[in-house]
């Protein structure tokens, strides 16, 4: 570190020695010393600090790039998750629609079965109103087989409609 030289003292002949001049001279000396202290910063070596800054900047840039890559990976994963969720929602809606259709078909089949059962009961009552005296044996046997098949239809529907394990 270089130290600058102090200014030369004022000439004695011109110096009057008044208090005002002395204080002015001291003020100039103080200002000069202050300037010299501040000037030392310019002469100090800042290579170490600059080197540290460059190294830290490189580390920061690497971290930033890593964070960018992680962000891109997470965004891609998020996009895939949203797409998968949309696909699953479509499948769920399809399954709901299929279930609704199947329930509607089941209700229609039950209604048809019930209607057929009622018609059979009406036919059976109609034929047996006179205690079956006008029916021959062959017709009675056919009527019993038909009644058995309708009864098995009713029982089969109950088995199908009952929950598993409660049959």
Tokens of 97: 């629609």
Distance CA 140, CA 126 (A): 13
Residue carrying structure tokens 């460059």 = 54
Going from N- to C-terminal start, the domains of the chain cover 58-161
Whether the model pTM is above 0.85 = no
106's CB contacts (< 8 A; 6+ apart) are 161
Distances (CA, A) of 80 to 50, 74, 86: 45, 10, 10
Tens-level pLDDT at each residue, the chain (167 residues)? 566 677 776 665 544 556 666 677 778 888 888 888 888 777 777 788 889 999 999 999 999 999 999 999 999 999 999 999 999 999 999 999 999 999 999 999 999 988 888 888 887 777 777 665 666 777 777 777 777 777 776 666 555 555 444 43
- Start-to-end Cα distance in the chain: 104
Other Cβ atoms within 10 Å of 96 Cβ, number: 10
């Amino acid at each position: 570190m270089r130290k600058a030289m102090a200014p030369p003292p004022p000439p004695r002949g011109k110096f009057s020695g008044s208090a005002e001049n002395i204080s002015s001279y001291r003020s100039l000396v103080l200002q000069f010393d202050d300037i010299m202290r501040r000037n030392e910063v310019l002469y100090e070596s800042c290579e170490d600090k600059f080197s540290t800054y460059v190294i830290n900047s490189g580390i920061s840039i690497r971290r930033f790039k890593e964070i960018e890559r992680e962000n891109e990976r997470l965004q891609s994963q998020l996009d895939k998750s949203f797409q998968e969720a949309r696909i699953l929602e479509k499948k769920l809606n399809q399954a709901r629609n299929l279930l609704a259709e199947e329930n509607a078909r089941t209700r229609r089949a039950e209604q048809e079965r019930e209607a057929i059962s009622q018609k059979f009961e009406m036919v059976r009552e109609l034929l047996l109103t006179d205690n079956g005296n006008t029916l021959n044996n062959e017709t009675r046997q056919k009527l019993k087989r038909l009644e058995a098949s309708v009864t098995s239809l009713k029982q089969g529907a109950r088995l199908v409609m009952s929950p598993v394990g409660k049959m």
